Amino acid sequence: MADEQANQPVFQIQRIYLKDVSLEQPNSPQILLEQGQPNVDVNLNLSANPFADGLYEVAITATVTTKLGDKVVFLVEAKEAGIFEMRNIPEDQMQPILAIACPQIVYPYLRAVVADIITRAGFPPVHLTEVNFQAMYEQQRAQAGHA
């Protein structure tokens, strides 16, 4: 009985945390008086790394750059991470868990942080769109297969 339990798959969230955040307003205060529709560019980056026996850190970094013409209004970079315990999970299931399930858990926290930082900086919040991590994973696999 104890052996059966020892071999059971384990997937647990140990912690979700803000790993890094920065805000820059290089052209303030002058740019705050300019009128126009700003251009918002969002870039996401995902990383997943083992760091101890059965423990993985999955982190998502969002870089939000807002420009008015060629001048930066603000630049926000936030990195939200989670520590996940995973044991006795078949090898073929690990990559999808790290690339789909874990980011789906971490991403809502990142969205909240980005919107909050931008609001605290005195701007209307930028709400990051929902991300289909499964579609991203499948697209990356398809590209790797054709490379």
pTM exceeding the 0.85 threshold for the entire prediction: yes
How many other C-beta atoms lie within 10 A of the C-beta of residue 21? 16
Q: What secondary structure does DSSP assign to 18-59, as a single string? A: EEEEEEE-TTTTGGGG--S--EEEEEEEEEEEEEETTEEEEE
Q: What's the pLDDT tens digit per position in 79-112? A: 999 999 999 999 999 999 999 999 999 999 999 9
Asked if residue 71 belongs to a domain, the reply is yes
CB 80 within 8 A of CB 50: no
User: How would residue 1 be classed by pLDDT, with cut points 50, 70 and 90?
Assistant: very low
Asked if residue 5 belongs to a domain, the reply is no
Q: Which helix (H) or strand (E) holds 64?
A: strand 55-68
Tell me which DSSP letter residue 129 carries: P
Asked if residue 1 belongs to a domain, the reply is no
Asked if residue 4 belongs to a domain, the reply is no
CB 106 within 8 A of CB 58: yes
Cis peptide before 96 (omega within 30 of 0): no
* Residue of higher predicted confidence among 141 and 13: 13
* Three-point CA angle 50, 54, 58, nearest 5°: 40
Residue 5 predicted with pLDDT over 70: no
Tell me the average pLDDT across 1-20.
84
Asked if residue 132 belongs to a domain, the reply is yes
CATH number of the domain at 41, please.
3.10.420.10
Structural domains counted in the chain: 1
Range of the domain at 124: 10-146
Given this model, what pLDDT does residue 7 score? 85
Q: What's the pLDDT tens digit per position in 39-79? A: 999 999 999 999 999 999 999 999 999 999 999 999 999 99
Phi, psi of 87 (to 5 degrees): -140, 150
Given this model, what pLDDT does residue 45 score? 95
Residue 141 predicted with pLDDT over 90: no
